[in-house]
Amino acid sequence: MHPLQREWHRLRLQHQRWLNEHQRVAGTAGDINLQRLRLLAPVMAGLNAFMVLVLGMRLLLVDLPEVAQSWQLQLLLAHLGMGILMTGCALAAQHWRHDSRRWVGRWLPTTANALALGFSIGLACIDQLVTPSITPFLLGCMVSALAFHQRPVTAALLFGVTAVVFFGAMGQAQTQSEALLSNRLNGLAGCALAWTLSVMLWRKFTLLNLQQAELEKANSELQIKQRELERLTRVDGLTGLLNRVTFVDLTRGELARARRQGTATTLLVLDLDHFKRVNDNWGHPAGDAVLRHVAALCMGTVRSTDLVGRLGGEEFIVLLPATQAEAGRKLAEKLRQRLEQSPVRVQNEVIHITASIGLSAAGAQDKNADFDSLYQSADQALYQAKHQGRNRVV
């Protein structure tokens, strides 16, 4: 590819990327522009009213030459008209404050900006009666570039039309050729500088907003990962049950509440029978499938207020708050039967599983019950269940 073609292709890609970026921030720019208009329009209307008051008093109280009197009268009328227009813009911005994402958010501030530029052209033309200066117009261009976030194409159209109108209006207001040429050149330069400033500010606004969006996205993803990490530190990675540390912490809290409220608590310790044979005969993936099956069956059998955890290996633990020993025994027996009656299918193989369950309970009047004592008692009961032939509740 020819270097010029390559450079042209690069510029086209850059232009397309900028257009995409501008589209992404256009809604935010509309919000900010409309908010700024709600603040700036009343201020501008107030300044116009102040100028009308000052100029009106001078016209009434001071004896002025005819030229000065005409100059001040025209200024008064210009400020009066601009004050009325800015009041209308303020009311419109307040009325459509919730519609900034629609066309209003884009074109109402642009309309106000065009009116302000037209007003600055009018002031510069009126000033030609007493001075060749075009300071109001140059200030208007700079303020217009700073007041609102304008897309480059919109700003180019706005300042291009402004330059054409200024060029023609100045020809009507200034008759001296040297001053006319100077004013026209200065006015065109002011429009070009204002457009350049507007583009620079727009690009800065675009980049900052895109960077902020990326930071917010990264922060959101980080929070999701942090929550997932916290979840993983609380649960067993294979079965999704509470891990040992989390289960013990929650159980101690439940036991403290049971002591305060005077309710009974039951603890079940469940151990799969001959689980080593599963790993030896069918492999560890089959053993993992059995453990996940047991975890799901336990969660589906107990109440939502009960706690189910995995102590490690093939040993599980269940806390039954507000449960008497006899009610806990019935639930344990139900759980044992469901395990016995629901074999696990792994790769066309049927694996039958049973479990031994040890049970201990703290009565409503047992003020000294803690996790260690309950667990020790349930573990001893589990040992007895194993010793008595397995697949039973003790």
Between CA 318 and CA 211 the distance in angstroms is 49
pLDDT digits (tens, 9 = 90+) for 133-159: 999 999 999 999 999 998 888 899 999
Instruction: Check residue 236 and give its pLDDT.
Output: 87
CB 267 within 8 A of CB 309: no
Contacts of 317 (CB under 8 A, 6+ apart): 247, 267, 268, 269, 270, 308, 309, 310, 311, 375, 378
CB 103 within 8 A of CB 79: no
Instruction: Check residue 155 and give its pLDDT.
Output: 92
Instruction: Check residue 2 and give its pLDDT.
Output: 64
Out of 7, 66, 221, 314, the active site residue is: 314
Tokens 């942090």 correspond to what residue?
226
Instruction: Check residue 114 and give its pLDDT.
Output: 94
Instruction: Check residue 29 and give its pLDDT.
Output: 83
Instruction: Check residue 7 and give its pLDDT.
Output: 66
CB 125 within 8 A of CB 169: yes
**Residue 311 backbone phi and psi in degrees, to 5:** -75, -25
Contacts of 124 (CB under 8 A, 6+ apart): 133, 134, 135, 136, 137, 166, 170, 173, 183, 187
> Could you report how far apart the first and last alpha carbons of the chain are, in Å?
84
CB 195 within 8 A of CB 155: yes
Segments in the chain below pLDDT 70: 1-2, 4-5, 7-11, 13-15, 18, 97-105, 231-232
Distances in Å between the alpha carbon of 94 and those of 80, 108, 138, 281? 21, 11, 29, 77
pLDDT digits (tens, 9 = 90+) for 225-273: 887 777 667 888 888 899 988 889 888 988 888 888 888 999 999 999 9
Please state the pTM of the whole predicted model.
0.62
Which domains does the chain show, CATH number per domain?
3-219 (no CATH), 244-387 (3.30.70.270)
314 is a catalytic site residue: yes
Instruction: Check residue 333 and give its pLDDT.
Output: 94
Tokens 């059998």 correspond to what residue?
301
CB 117 within 8 A of CB 44: no
Q: Judge residue 327's burial from the number of C-beta atoms within 10 Å of its C-beta, 0-12 exposed, 13-18 middle, 19 or more buried.
A: middle
